[in-house]
Structure 1
């Protein structure tokens, strides 16, 4: 390499490599997103000037993820809703159709499953079918106007519910694919998610509830190994932890569980071409697929219904009995 008369570096013939480092801001950076009407995109562009010839250009995009930790308290609470309607046909009125649904929490990471609890009651004269679907709403804002796009991802379908019957779901799982995290910190593009629980009614408008959820980037952490939960009817939940040993006996290496490194997956919506008219001729592949945090081999673990350690043990330790009152 040598320096030209105007102070710029001139590459001599041969192979050259340069290492570049860019520090991203710690705040105010929005997650990469590719939408139909707009995108949030980060890329690097390199150009080599060639006197008396066309310059060589290349362009590579990369994914930036704004962290959303679903282990925060506001994302661990359940989301629930209910709705009811009565069908009418001319002068005849049937019994009501009702729906209650609840998710096990509000925040999830792609690759995890949403555990849905639902109660369905069909007192009408028609057969209805329950469904659960993950919905994504993309909102694009510019010039005082907005435009939205609605996408449907995974769906589960339950057993048809005959007239006069009721049914329920107990932790019906709805898998979350590799989708973009929720985006609410951008003034131009918003990405939001809901779980829609629907009762499909032939010959009438469907009955449904929308449960808003948040798609995050930090997976749900497992409970500490000695954590116990005691559930008592009509009483607040109580958490029990073993007494801490003296400091000298405590193993500081085991104080906090070591979390595995994050894993990622390509966005389910596929790749896009990041080239544009201003780039001219670009060398190399200009296709780009965002990579999002993804939990591989996720297993749903229902919360314990009672403590594995009884804080008030009985003196009776042998035998078992069942009775009714």
Structure 2
């Protein structure tokens, strides 16, 4: 590269001091839903008049999954993507195929934009172990084939579906308010431990509490202690392949049950308000929950039971906007 071109590029880079994209909130929680109007502005600050080839802002909603598996001596990668919507608003575009004829004035320049989010069923924003559902705004300012400025910000999105896990099963919706019961009998040699677990309902909102009753009949020679867990199951699919990731959150312990005694106890469990709700309305990932109660005892394997649990969307909380990415430039070829 000649010295003249190098100094021209450096001068062009330095002329753009700031590039950002912002949006206007439509509610106190700061989230968007299908059918909402997404308005905002792109701000660019330059030290002098700057020629550009194109300047645009894009709105995008997408889901993507990616993970690797070991198959023998080889590592196999699996990935997939789904686009929910894609819109582009051209702020400036030269008319002569890249001659840089459009001009941005020196100083602070603000360009408004408006998009209408499609009024269709789309999953809420989510980030799991091997996949994520992201809704974002991106601004691109192109000065030349060698020089592109970019910035991005994500905005929180909430589905309109009250039950994004049961669109085809009315029985699941009816069962959300009903009690859930399960029993487990464990034998250790000639000894026996019986555990009955009952939750007051299957559906509970973020931030709410649920009562769980445990009856333990301990006919063994060991002391046992009930422990309560919330199990999160993330399932990811890429074409015909699937993988699962689970997390366990310890809620706490119940009262100890000595040998040769019986005891009934009720534990009130509070669902964390930040916990992602259960969902099935994404073709590449789903999120399920279970309530697990196990008996902590000096055994080879702790007896446990699991109850279905559906986490429902609670009252939306004001969400912090994720930091914007700094503008960056394409590297020059070696």
With structure 2 as the length reference, what TM-score do the two structures score?
Answer: 0.60
Which of 180, 194, 214 lines up with 1:118 in the alignment? 214
Structure-2 residue corresponding to 1:281: 328
Which of 29, 38, 49 lines up with 2:122 in the alignment? 29
Q: How does 1:47-62 map to 2 (within 5 A)?
A: 47-51=140-144, 54-62=147-155
Deviations 1:128-183 (A, max 9, x none): 11011111011111131211111112421012211111112225334435121112
**1-structure distance, mates of 2:138, 2:223:** 59
Change (3 A) 1:2 1:170: closer
Q: How does 1:96-115 map to 2 (within 5 A)?
A: 96-115=192-211
Cα distance, 1:22 vs structure 2 = 2.3
Change (3 A) 1:169 1:2: closer
**2-structure distance, mates of 1:174, 1:31:** 23
Q: How does 1:127-206 map to 2 (within 5 A)?
A: 127-206=223-302
Structure-1 residue corresponding to 2:317: 263
Change (3 A) 1:121 1:106: same
Which of 78, 86, 91 lines up with 2:187 in the alignment? 86
Asked if the contact 2:273/2:314 (under 8 Å) is kept, the reply is no
Asked if the contact 1:68/1:218 (under 8 Å) is kept, the reply is no
**2-structure distance, mates of 1:2, 1:198:** 62
Change (3 A) 1:177 1:204: farther
Asked if the contact 1:99/1:118 (under 8 Å) is kept, the reply is yes
Asked if the contact 1:139/1:190 (under 8 Å) is kept, the reply is yes
Structure-2 residue corresponding to 1:17: 110
Change (3 A) 1:162 1:52: closer
Structure-1 residue corresponding to 2:75: none
Give structure 2 stretches of 5+ with no counterpart.
Answer: 1-90, 164-172
Cα distance, 1:10 vs structure 2 = 3.8
Asked if the contact 2:232/2:290 (under 8 Å) is kept, the reply is yes
Which of 195, 202, 207 lines up with 2:303 in the alignment? 207
Deviations 1:58-85 (A, max 9, x none): 0111221224547x64422222211111
**2-structure distance, mates of 1:191, 1:176:** 16
Deviations 1:238-276 (A, max 9, x none): xxxxxxxxxxxxxxxxxxxxxxxx42567xxxx9x998x
Cα distance, 1:18 vs structure 2 = 2.5
Give structure 1 stretches of 5+ with no counterpart.
Answer: 220-261, 284-325
**2-structure distance, mates of 1:99, 1:2:** 69
Cα distance, 1:15 vs structure 2 = 1.6
Is 1:45–2:138 an aligned residue pair? Answer: yes
Change (3 A) 1:264 1:187: same
Cα distance, 1:51 vs structure 2 = 4.0
- 2:176 aligns to what SS in structure 1? helix
With structure 1 as the length reference, what TM-score do the two structures score?
Answer: 0.62
Cα distance, 1:27 vs structure 2 = 2.7
**2-structure distance, mates of 1:99, 1:152:** 21
More strand per residue: 2
Change (3 A) 1:117 1:26: farther
Change (3 A) 1:183 1:9: farther
> Which stretch shifts more, 106-115 or 170-179?
170-179
Change (3 A) 1:144 1:175: same
Change (3 A) 1:193 1:141: same
